[in-house]
Chains A and B, each alone.
Chain A
Amino acid sequence: MRSAAFALFATVVATLGACAGTQTTSQHLASTQASISAAAAIGAAREPTGALHLQYAREEYAQADNLSRDGEIEAADRMFLRAQSDAELAGALARRQDARRAADEARARAEAAQPSMAPAPVAPPAPPAPPAPPAPAAR
């Protein structure tokens, strides 16, 4: 009787532990999916480097999902983090492109309104560092 009760207790503890791990992974999955959707929604794909990071994010997301299904919870969580960081970077690159374009337009408007204003030299945008390709899944 005691051994049966102990076995039941151990099963419950193990189940709760598994549930806790699954919940964390689900949260990562949801937040990563939201980041990827947000990046796509603001047009990350129209900016070349942003499109690349968005692609990385999707691939990493799929990889994380597979790891999660395989029970590699820690590796899956880290892969979700990678996917999320790539998605956020993709969205930020699109916003930077928009902001630079808006600044260029504002400069043109300012120069048109004040023809005597000498146009300040426009520093060419620094070439973005080539994104590191996603490393193979770390298990």
Chain B
Amino acid sequence: MKLPITLSLVGLLSLQACATARPPDELLQARAAMQRAQQGPASRYALVDLHTAQQSLASAEQAYASSPRSPEVRDLSYVALRRAELAGVRGETAEAVARQSELDAQRQQAVAQNLVNTQAALATARAEQSQTREQLERERLARADAERRANAAMESLRRVAAVREEQRGTVITLSGEVLFASGESVLLPIAQQRLDEVAAALQAQGSRHLVVEGHTDARGNPADNERLSLARAHAVRNYLVTRGIDASTITAVGAGASRPVADNTTAEGRANNRRVEIVVSPSNETRNATAPTEHPPVASR
């Protein structure tokens, strides 16, 4: 008889122990939610909500301590759970708002920096444009000045020599009578004065290739005429070099009587055929001049 009573008491005590050992799910969830909230951004951004949730949880715990099985425990735990979740959500919301403010500030900073960079680039571009414009203006003025000097030099040249334009370039013709004694390839003193003016005019033209051509009339031996014409061409070339013309830009050619410009049967025609022509190339291209050939003048015309 005593045994059933003892077993019943043990059973009741076990049930009581089980009943008090496990809190209701709502309270367990509320405790977990509170822990999550405390470890999240709510601890920084939602302290008031966190405090309210803690108070709610404390009320639930108090109710559980005084009457574990009462329906009040479940309701208060439920409210504590929601308030802990609310604190967590509000903490995350405030964190997102703070992040947005930070990003907006970064954006404004970037926009300001971009503006500064753009203004700097614009200023640089304007400065470069101004420099380019000034450079172009200087070049234009230099070209105009060079052209003016070349024209002036050419006008000056026309007073001492015949000047004409041909496809091969500007041809300056100097009479052989003025430059050399008959049959000689040594420049006369008067020729040097003329060639000084020619040299000045050629220098004003800038760096151009020159061909100095010697020509004779048709009298005498053609081979002698060719040697004489070449010697005279060299004499003129060498003199021009002494007056500052770059030697590498001048070629001396002896044409002999092969390219007359007048009738060789008359004295006047032959006089015109005895000449030296300086051909100024139309472009700025320069070619290596042929080395002067060391042929002593043999013909005397």
Which A residues are closer than 8 A to B by beta carbons? 53, 74-75, 78-79, 81-82, 85-86, 88-89, 92-93, 95-96, 99-100, 102-103, 106-107, 109-110, 113-114, 117, 125, 128-129, 131-132, 134-135, 138-139
Interface centre among B29, B76, B82, B85, by most A CB within 10 Å? B82
Known: A92-B90, A138-B74. A102 touches B33 (CB 8 A): no
State whether A85 touches B111 (Cβ < 8 A).
no
In the bound complex, how far is the Cα of B82 from the Cα of A88, in angstroms? 9
Could you list some 10 contacts between A and B, CB below 8 A? A53-B82, A81-B75, A82-B79, A85-B79, A103-B97, A107-B103, A109-B104, A110-B110, A114-B114, A138-B71
B82 contacts which chain A residues (CB < 8 A)? 53, 82, 85-86, 88-89
Which B residues are closer than 8 A to A by beta carbons? 25-26, 29, 33, 36, 71-72, 74-76, 78-79, 81-83, 85-86, 89-90, 92-94, 96-97, 99-100, 103-104, 106-107, 110-111, 113-114
In the bound complex, how far is the Cα of B25 from the Cα of A116, in angstroms? 51
Distance in angstroms from B69 CB to nearest chain A CB is 11
Known: A132-B29, A138-B75. A103 touches B86 (CB 8 A): no
B29 contacts which chain A residues (CB < 8 A)? 129, 132
A113 contacts which chain B residues (CB < 8 A)? 107, 110-111, 114
B92 contacts which chain A residues (CB < 8 A)? 96, 100, 125
State whether B107 touches A135 (Cβ < 8 A).
no
State whether B89 touches A92 (Cβ < 8 A).
yes
Known: A132-B26, A132-B29. A82 touches B78 (CB 8 A): yes
The prevalent SS among residues of B at the interface is: helix
State whether A82 touches B75 (Cβ < 8 A).
yes
Q: Please provide the 4 A-B residue pairs with the shortest distance between their CB atoms, ordered closest to farther.
A: A138-B71, A114-B110, A85-B82, A99-B96
A85 contacts which chain B residues (CB < 8 A)? 78-79, 82-83, 86
State whether B93 touches A95 (Cβ < 8 A).
yes
The prevalent SS among residues of A at the interface is: helix
State whether A78 touches B26 (Cβ < 8 A).
no
State whether A88 touches B86 (Cβ < 8 A).
yes
In the bound complex, how far is the Cα of B295 from the Cα of A63, in angstroms? 133
In the bound complex, how far is the Cα of B79 from the Cα of A53, in angstroms? 13
Which chain B residue lies CB-closest to A77? B75
Distance in angstroms from A94 CB to nearest chain B CB is 10
A95 contacts which chain B residues (CB < 8 A)? 90, 93
State whether B106 touches A132 (Cβ < 8 A).
no
B83 contacts which chain A residues (CB < 8 A)? 85
Distance in angstroms from B74 CB to nearest chain A CB is 6
Known: A109-B103, A110-B106. A135 touches B79 (CB 8 A): no
B76 contacts which chain A residues (CB < 8 A)? 78
Known: A95-B90, A96-B90, A132-B81. 15 other contacts (CB 8 A): A53-B82, A82-B82, A85-B79, A88-B82, A93-B89, A106-B99, A106-B107, A107-B103, A109-B103, A129-B29, A129-B33, A134-B78, A135-B74, A138-B71, A138-B75
Cross-interface CB contact of B104 among A75, A106, A131, A132, cutoff 8 Å: A106
In the bound complex, how far is the Cα of B85 from the Cα of A9, in angstroms? 48
Cross-interface CB contact of A110 among B26, B74, B79, B107, cutoff 8 Å: B107
B100 contacts which chain A residues (CB < 8 A)? 99, 102-103, 106
B96 contacts which chain A residues (CB < 8 A)? 96, 99-100, 102-103
